[in-house]
Amino acid sequence: MTAYALIVAAGRGTRAGGDQPKQWQMLAGRRVLDWTLDAFRTAPAITRIVVVLHPDEMDRLTPDEGIVTVAGGATRAQSVRNGLDWLAALPDPPDLVLIHDAARCCLPQTVIADILDALRHDKTPAAAPALPVTDALWRGDAGRVRGTQDRTGLYRAQTPQGFDFAAILAAHRAHDGNAADDVEVARAHGLPVRIVPGDERNLKITTPADFARAETILTARKEPPLIDIRTGTGFDVHRFGEGDHVTLCGVAVAHDRGLQGHSDADVGMHALTDALYGALAMGDIGRHFPPSDPQWKGAASDIFLRHAVDLVASNGFRITNVDVTLICERPKIGPHAAAMIAALSDIMGLERDRVSVKATTSERLGFTGREEGIAAQAVATLVKT
């Protein structure tokens, strides 16, 4: 079922003060109407927004793909009727419409969702948010209390008020005169209205003091800036060949065989370098240092790692931690892990407690279990500075 929003923004709002109608006044760095529009733009179920403006203010809001503007009338009821008539003229009018006052700019998404849920699943032609009256009520005049009023069953009405589109269109077309809101129009036409929970944050800007309250609400709900955190993984393998040592994470470890590779075959440092490239979405070692290029024959792997570290910094990131796992039966890594951590820490300029080097065997399974080579995997995490 398609759902459109109809925002009424044609009023003058003189009680709010200021040199222009309240929907155009600034609030927390933006116009009041802009905050209201955002509430519906971010509601996934709302597919289109119609804004009813004063005829003299049609140029103050630029329509776009999801927003259209319609000229309002002399009363709120007439402005809503104009918006509904515009929707009715569409080749495919919406199934549901949510009618909202532009001055309620702190509208929570939960209110929109509850209204739509009631319309779609409770089989009701109308649903509106409200809050029960909890304060004592008096009747008075001339500055004196003349009596009390029972508050049982009394509610403070809010918007948006949601309706089956065809039903509220017929109700407005049959209604003669103005009305406090669209629920009054709906009930005059015999439509039952479901009450859904309102929200204290969904205040209506009416007086100058309401601007400060609204700003407090909008500031409190602003999401913190997005922290750009990147994680990359790397994996590398080198086979054993002739030699008397292996170079792992920058440390020469005595062994009865060496590792074969185009460079010094430091499998741990290669995996870590690829993890950094991966976190940046910048390929792998082979992309930056092609094995077909003879200048990298026998090159020390710290060249590759330093290049990746420089790329991290030049792209506005910092390395927060790295974790390297060496997979082999022999040589034993434990006695050399501290030296490997120190070597990687120095190359990356990273505190040693942010560098992890550990080892595991493959329980004599696979090529590492048969001691045909060594594998390594690495994880690196970056944070935007």
Whether the link from the prior residue into 94 is cis, omega within 30° of 0, is no
For residues 234 and 287, membership in a common domain is answered with: yes
Domain of 331, in residue numbers? 229-384
* Residue 98, beta-bridge partner list: 5, 162
Do 154 and 245 fall into the same domain?
no
Q: Is 176 left (phi over 0), alpha (psi -120 to 50) or beta?
A: beta
State mean pLDDT over 285-306.
89
Q: Give the Cβ contact number of residue 253 at 10 Å.
A: 17
Q: Which of 216, 197, 4, 15 is nearest to 105 (CA)?
A: 216
Residue 252 shares a structural domain with residue 347: yes
Confidence of residue 119 (pLDDT cuts 50, 70, 90): very high
Question: Could you tell me the CATH number of the domain that includes residue 183?
Answer: 3.90.550.10
Query: 88 falls in which pLDDT band (50, 70, 90)?
Result: very high
pLDDT of res. 293: 84
Q: Are 20 and 54 in contact (CB under 8 A)?
A: no
Question: Residue 32: what pLDDT?
Answer: 96
Domain stop point among 196, 221, 246 = 221
Across 331-360, b (16+ Cβ under 10 Å) vs e yields: bebeebbebbbbbbbebbebeeebbbbebe
Answer whether 294's CB lies under 8 Å from 263's CB. Answer: no
Q: Tell me, what's the pLDDT at 317?
A: 95
Q: How far is 370 from 251, CA to CA, in rounded Å?
A: 23
Is the separation of the CB atoms in 272 and 309 below 8 Å? no
Handedness of CA 253, 254, 258, 263 (dihedral sign): positive
pLDDT band (50, 70, 90) for residue 225? low
SS3 of 170, please?
helix
Predicted pLDDT of residue 242: 92
**pLDDT given at position 223:** 60
* Mean pLDDT computed over 340-354: 96
Looking at 215-286, which runs of residues are DSSP E strands? 229-241, 245-248, 251-254, 258-259
Containing H/E element for 164? strand 161-164
Tell me the mean pLDDT in the region 64-79.
92
- Token pair, residue 177, equals 């005169």
Same domain, 292 and 143: no
Same domain, 26 and 162: yes
pLDDT in tens, 122-174: 889 999 999 999 999 999 999 999 999 999 999 999 999 999 999 999 999 99
Looking at the structure of the chain, the number of domains it has is 2
**What is the rounded average pLDDT of the residues 326-351?**
96
